[in-house]
Amino acid sequence: MDKNTVLGLLLIGAILIGASIYNSPSRDEIAIQKHYRDSIAAITKVNQKVAVQNQIADAVKSENLAFTDTTASDSVKNVALQQQFGSFYAAATGSLENYVLENELLKINISNKGGRITSVVLKKYTTHDSLPLTIGDIDSSQFNFVFNNQNKTINTEDFYFKPTGKSFSLAGNDSNSFKLRMEISPSQYLEYVYTLKGNSYLFDFKVNMVGLADVITNKDKITLDWKEKALSTEKYKDGETNASTIYYQFNEGNEIDYLTEAGDKQEPLEKKTNWIGFKKQYFTSVLVSKQGFQKGNLETIGLQQSKKYTKELKANLELAYSGSNAVTYDFEFYIGPNHFQTLKAFDQGFEKQIPLGWGILGWINKYAVIPVFNFLDSLNWSYGIIILVLTLLIKIVLLPLTYKAFLSTAKMKVLKPEMDEINAKFGSEDPMKKQSAVMELYKKAGVNPLGGCLPVLLQMPILFAMFRFFPASIELRQKGFLWATDLSTYDSIYDLGFTIPWYGDHVSLFTLLMTVSTLLYTRMNSSQFSGNAQMESMKWVMYLMPVVFLGVFNNYSAGLSYYYFLANMMTFTQQAIIKKLVNEDEIHRKIQEHKKKPAAKKSGFQAKLEEMAKQAQQQKDAKNKK
């Protein structure tokens, strides 16, 4: 480069340097810019923290704790969790794990989320379609305690419990006892202890609250929230729904009550209760509190639109709380079949959840039918044969009453010609005198007009008791006979493919046989209704009833229809034998001889009837004279 070029470059450099110095900010301007940058950085940091806290809160609520912002510090997360969950914030994060306790009867699945039982598999039972029978599932059941931590509501379902003691595998463990803790610290925790009692459907559940006197700020009570959507396990879902409800036992007098099965029900518990039972058709879940539940509220909700569930059962229960650093609640769970002898063995009134009927109906089932049925069951016969033998034994016991009813019917048949003469003499113009003449005929002949009705009425409690017994008997569940694959529910020989109102969508052969045999029985005994207008109308009612029952029994237990069919057929046989033994000519001769005897003293009932008829006739005569 020559001299001029070098000089030019120096001048340009000088100009650039001078311009840079001239345009550079002053000290005050530099301070303002620095303050602006710092402010922007601070605002950005705050916004990031808020975003992270919101993300944490949303993630906690949705049980998805996989935070995407890796820049969020543990302290920020802890602050957010503490704001939501108070002293128990450390237990609000974790990953789902499942533990198993089992014996020969039960497989109990326990989740670390909430520390609760999520489901129980009854090993000796299956559903109607041969799947493992499970009580409850993780999506439809709840079991959690609710209490206060200062101004925060703590619900155990939001927290992760940790197993204590030896190391447990996630698949299960071989111990009969299992402990889970929701910890604040090693000396402050809420602990669940599950303990199996050998091979039993009954197991212990204990809740220990240790070092939480200053943490749990409830004054005198905490709440237990128990809910279950009952899974459908049977062939006839509507039958399951109608049989599902909540039973409970009051502490005072051990009185047992329940919510009516029909419709949705809600009922407060104002008195102390010992246990609450979520009763399904053939299985039940009972929670026993050894300290007792102080108060509560029960509710049942039908789930007719659901294919998976039958009814939602809810119990919100209050437990007394002392506020000390060592609080223990002792519970027992029974999760198993509604089998009378199994439930009765626990001596806590569990068996009263089986609807055997009220009053005399329950007594007949408990003290007569069930013992005989159990004895026959011990012989390992087919249940179809057991029902046949049971029906035969009942008919033998009732034979004296059946004989007396038939004999009374035979006497009325012998008197029919004389009854016809009285009807022809008085007609319908003078019913009072006709009734008086009929009563006089009965008295002379020594015939009790109610003699045929009373034996039948005395048999009715047994018929009604069996109506309760068969649908409630888990022994018949999934036990087949002939074309019926399950005697506990309806038998179907043909599926219609559509539903007939009142009748159903199938044809039950046992119900048809029962209906036809009942109509034949009514036909055989219709002669006793002849000659009396009121009894003639009763005859058509007797014909109508079996037709009505055809629709009712079409969806009922096949075992029940089978029993009624057998009972009718045995009645036909008894009547055929008795008819050969009873000589109507001899009955007529004895009646005529009785007429010759001096009139017997009137019974109080007969005298009352005659007096009423006499007064009615006098009133009629007085009215006619006017």
How far apart CA 474 and CA 284 sit, in angstroms, is: 12
Tokens, residue 68:
């995407």
Give the tokens for residue 62: 């949705």
Check residue 28 and give its pLDDT: 61
Average pLDDT rounded to a whole number, residues 398-408: 79
pTM: 0.76
Q: Which amino acid is at 192?
A: Y
For the ranges 34-48, 154-168, 450-464, 500-514, the maximum mean pLDDT occurs at 500-514
pLDDT confidence bin for 173, thresholds 50/70/90: very low
User: Which strands make up the sheet holding 188-196, listed edge to edge?
Assistant: 162-163, 177-185, 188-196, 202-210, 326-337, 283-293, 273-279, 245-250, 256-258
The confidence band for 495, taking pLDDT boundaries of 50, 70 and 90, is confident
CB under 8 Å to 484, separation ≥6 — which residues?
Answer: 491, 510, 558, 562
- Residues with Cβ < 8 Å from 531, sequence gap 6 or more? 416, 419, 420, 423
Distance between CA 306 and CA 405 in Å, rounded? 50
SS3 call for 289: strand
The pair of three-digit structure tokens given for residue 15, joined into one six-digit string: 């100009």
| pLDDT at res. 227 | 95
In DSSP terms, 181 is beta-bridged to 162, 191
What mean pLDDT is predicted for residues 546-571?
Answer: 89
CB atoms within 10 A of CB 342: 17
Domains of the chain and CATH, by start: 91-354 (2.70.98.90), 362-606 (no CATH)
Among 122-131, 210-219, 579-588, the least confident range: 579-588
Tens-place pLDDT, residues 323-350? 899 999 999 999 999 999 999 999 999 9
Q: Are 295 and 222 in contact (CB under 8 A)?
A: no
Q: What is the pLDDT averaged over residues 477-504?
A: 89
What pLDDT score was predicted for residue 88?
A: 85
pLDDT score of 67: 43
The confidence band for 193, taking pLDDT boundaries of 50, 70 and 90, is very high
Secondary structure of 36-78 in the HEC alphabet?
A: HHHHHHHHHHHHHHHHHHHHHHHHHHCCCCCCCCCCCCHHHHH
Query: What percent of the chain lies above the pLDDT cut of 70?
Result: 68
Whether 300 contacts 293, CB under 8 Å: no
| Beta carbons of 209 and 216 less than 8 angstroms apart | yes
Tokens of 602: 């009137």
pLDDT for res 289: 95
Q: Which amino acid is at 373?
A: F
Averaged confidence pLDDT in the chain: 81
Flag whether pLDDT at 171 surpasses 50.
Answer: no
The answer to whether the beta carbons of residues 107 and 123 sit under 8 Å apart is: yes
pLDDT one-digit tens code per residue, 560-604: 999 999 998 998 888 888 877 776 666 666 666 655 555 555 555
